[in-house]
């Protein structure tokens, strides 16, 4: 049987490791209710995300939702849909349920593609998949890019990451890290004279980590920073970080975002 990977990439299938994509599609959203059903151009946001995920060359692409309206819509454009519980706190828990239902083995790679990211570059998915595949000690991978503006470095809405010499994450923070002790003592709003990196919220997991995630207690670091990846670091999980050249296009968080993207299209 021809897989999605083979039909999408043709003769280049050997260049990519096998992986699955799960698109968590939560119906409720405080800032923009039903945003995944909203029309962008000529189709719903969730359909854009599904179609870009097909282009990534995964073994399978699954939409994981807790609502029949999304299920029916997704079935209409031919998607594989898994109905999940409606009490999940985040997308990672939803991925864990899908991985268990699908029976994926411990070493299989699972990518979390957010349902509100219609223009996520396929290359970014590949970079993160390769980062995890090539680091046998890591059970998770994510991505980061350089910070060029000092205002971004000091912005708490821009999450920063510092890595070790193996390019594994040491810490994620909303605070400006690393802290230039001597330089900032003179002028705090100047970016440090060294590379600093912005976290990009794309997550790739080995299935065994997803199975463990639900049993991990919320860490104090996660509660303070409001960053769920800190739960994993607190538990000693090794997170490989793929360094990429720039930020992906902005997703659909608000009605204003949708309006802006429609004008662009």
Residue 163, pLDDT above cutoff 80: yes
What's residue 1's pLDDT? 35
Total Cβ atoms within 10 A of residue 139: 22
What's residue 22's pLDDT? 97
Least confident of 95-109, 185-199, 217-231: 185-199
What's residue 190's pLDDT? 67
Residue 151 three-state SS:
helix
Provide the 8-state DSSP code for 61: E
Cα four-point dihedral sign 224, 228, 231, 232: negative
């Amino acid at each position: 049987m021809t897989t999605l990977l083979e039909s999408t990439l043709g003769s280049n299938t050997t260049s990519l490791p096998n992986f699955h994509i799960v698109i968590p599609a939560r119906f409720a959203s405080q800032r923009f209710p039903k945003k995944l059903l909203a029309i962008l151009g000529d189709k719903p946001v969730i359909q854009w995300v599904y179609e870009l995920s097909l282009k990534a060359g995964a073994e399978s692409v699954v939409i994981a939702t807790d609502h029949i309206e999304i299920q029916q819509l997704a079935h209409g454009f031919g998607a594989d849909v898994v109905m999940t519980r409606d009490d999940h706190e985040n997308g990672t828990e939803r991925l864990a349920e899908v991985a268990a239902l699908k029976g994926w083995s411990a070493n299989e790679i699972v990518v979390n593609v957010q349902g509100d990211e219609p223009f996520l570059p396929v290359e970014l998915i590949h970079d993160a998949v390769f980062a995890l595949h090539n680091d046998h000690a890591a059970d998770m991978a994510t991505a980061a890019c350089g910070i060029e503006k000092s205002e971004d470095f000091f912005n708490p809405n821009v999450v920063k990451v510092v890595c070790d010499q193996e390019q594994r994450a040491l810490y994620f923070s909303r605070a400006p890290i690393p802290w230039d002790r001597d330089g900032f003592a003179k002028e705090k709003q100047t970016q440090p004279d060294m590379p600093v990196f912005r976290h990009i919220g794309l997550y790739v997991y080995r299935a065994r980590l997803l199975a463990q995630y639900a049993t991990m207690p919320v860490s104090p670091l996660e509660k303070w920073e409001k960053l769920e990846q800190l739960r994993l670091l607190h538990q000693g999980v090794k997170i490989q970080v793929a360094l990429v050249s720039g930020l992906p296009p902005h997703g659909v968080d608000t009605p204003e975002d949708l309006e802006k993207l429609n004008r662009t299209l």
